[in-house]
Structure 1
Amino acid sequence: MLFNLIVLAIGLLRGAESAGWQLVWSDEFNGSGGPNDGEWSYEVGGGGWGNNELEYYTSHNTGNARQEGGHLVINARVQEEGGRHFTSARLTSKKSWTYGKFEARAKLPKGKNLWPAIWMMPKDSKYGGWAASGEIDIMEARGERPTITQGTIHYGGSWPNNIYSGSGERNFNKDFTADYHTFAVEWDQNMIRWYVDGQEYHRENINRNMWSGKGANPYNHNGAPFDQGFFWILNIAVGGNFFPQNVYGPPVTPDEARRWEKPSMEIDYLRVYQWK
């Protein structure tokens, strides 16, 4: 009997040792030049991207995205391109994952109407057009408010029948533009949790019918649309609907943008873990 108990205890200990978050992918940005073409694609163009944004996203060899000193640097610039006065970069990962811990260590930009985002979109529009198939915003911030970030999910139906929920603006009383901080979500079949520097600050239950109640219901089971593969998106937008004029004043002008204090987002690493 004692022998059996010892064997059982050893088995439980070994199981505990093997359980936990296992790193399945990372980009440490230790190269030079642009981001690794095997891992990343550029989304290119203007047109406001559905948010009346002011930038034009460029592709390779333009100075808007580069690896430097072990970091990925994304720059917003005052530059004429595609009928726009500003350029930036918007990168998407070629790999996608369903569930896990998604972690980004980054230093954010500072300046009027700068909109850095580290977020995720579904590989396939399994449940319909945006936002019926979901969106996970790990971190969004406004360049005028360097101590504030937020996390959000979008879902419910295709626009205009979509809805969103999340943390809203949270003031962490630390300047995210002055040093690196870690932004993360943990996502499983039941919940999405948001973290800053390892501290949970918000969670959303996804083990429910996520339909908005408007239009046709695109979901036939709990957990949809957050039960499919999502990929990374990294970008800095300029202006747009994220900056209502009654709060932030008129959109940034090129002259104002030339005085941006810090028009870059530096990303030290991205890491994806899954539970073993």
Structure 2
Amino acid sequence: MKFSTRIISIFFLSIIGGFFLSCDSEDKDNPSGSTPDNPTATIPIPDQGFVSPTTYDGMTLVWEDDFEGNSLDIANWSHETGTGNNGWGNNELQYYRSQNTSVERGHLIITAKQESFGGSQYTSSRIVSMNKKQFRYGRVDIRAVMPRGQGLWPALWMLGSNFSEVGWPACGEIDIMEMVGGQGRENTVHGTVHWQNDGSHAEFGRSYRLPSGTLADKFHVFSIVWDATSIRWYIDNVEYNVIDTTPAQLDEFRRSFFFIMNVAVGGNWPGSPDNTTVFPQHMIVDYIRVFQFD
């Protein structure tokens, strides 16, 4: 989720009756199962997908959020709201609102809607752990299922904790997971880093295509393993990308980072929604876990 250098500030469901639907069996005319009067009432949560272990040899679990209860834990997360600068630096179309975040049945749900608000035609949510939960090194596992549709752009990512002092890209950015919707792209996860090299933006990334299905069909676990010399990306514990971070110009990645979870609508990468895009759409997160080396 490329971040604009011009953005200088970062702050300022439910009855399913034990009946879980997989995305493959959704009503294609109403994939959310919602109604106009209660748009978050029956969001289907898949009951299939990869589950990561709760322990790793040589590592200790230092933080997790399982999204229990009925509201976002403010000890872990804050909301970013509004349209940012130049659509959050990417010409995105949504207005971020806290109302598009819900916590239910042990899951975080970020909902993207087609609705007029604040001069935008779409709304969504973006949560950050800045000044609350930030880490240097370790393994991060996030179990989530993605939305679907042209113009949807969900992301699970990180920015350097010194963002407010040095800006982007000098703070560094680690994209644990990005997906762009539509045009047959929903089967591909992207893992990328951004940094500053000699005063200019630099980036490195690779992608992984599922052998079958899409990232919206069931849960997958998106991970990084990060230490003083490298960052490695995984999906369902399959490694698909690695970067050597020992060069001096990648010093950003030897500092602490905080987390961001959001669903953008439109923007430079995915393009705009079209008449094939069905709203509302949901990114559903089961848990985030951070392990650090013993």
Tell me the CA shift for residue 90 of structure 1.
0.3
* 123, 129, 147: which one aligns with 2:187: 147
Instruction: Using the TM superposition, name which of 143-152 and 82-91 deviates more.
Output: 143-152
* 178, 181, 184: which one aligns with 2:220: 181
Match of 1:9 in 2: none
Classify the secondary structure of the residue corresponding to 2:88. Answer: helix
Tell me the CA shift for residue 198 of structure 1.
0.7
Q: Is the Cα contact below 8 Å between 2:97 and 2:125 reproduced in 1?
A: yes
| TM-score, normalised with respect to structure 2 | 0.75
Whether 2:219 is the aligned partner of 1:192: answer no
- Counterpart AA for 2:251: A
Cα distance in 1 for partners of 2:217, 2:143 equals 13
Match of 1:268 in 2: 286
Tell me the CA shift for residue 243 of structure 1.
2.5
Tell me the CA shift for residue 153 of structure 1.
0.2
Tell me the CA shift for residue 118 of structure 1.
0.2
Match of 2:245 in 1: 206
Q: Deviations over 1:189-221 (max 9, x none)?
A: 0000000001111100000122xxxxxxxxxxx
Q: What stretches of structure 1 of length at least 5 have no aligned partner?
A: 1-17, 211-222, 245-250
Matches within 5 A, 1:11-26: 20-26=58-64
Classify the secondary structure of the residue corresponding to 1:110. Answer: coil
Q: Is the Cα contact below 8 Å between 2:109 and 2:283 reproduced in 1?
A: yes
| TM-score, normalised with respect to structure 1 | 0.79
Q: What stretches of structure 2 of length at least 5 have no aligned partner?
A: 1-55
Alpha-carbon RMSD across the aligned residues, in angstroms, is 1.9
- Larger CA Rg, structure 1 vs 2: 1
Match of 2:170 in 1: 132
Tell me the CA shift for residue 128 of structure 1.
2.7
Tell me the CA shift for residue 170 of structure 1.
2.3
Tell me the CA shift for residue 166 of structure 1.
1.1
* 219, 241, 254: which one aligns with 1:227: 254
Cα distance in 2 for partners of 1:142, 1:243 equals 5
Tell me the CA shift for residue 256 of structure 1.
5.0
Q: Percent identity?
A: 40
Cα distance in 1 for partners of 2:289, 2:210 equals 23
Deviation above 3 Å: which 4+ runs of structure 1? none
Whether 2:113 is the aligned partner of 1:73: answer no
Match of 1:248 in 2: none
Equivalences, count: 232
Tell me the CA shift for residue 108 of structure 1.
0.5
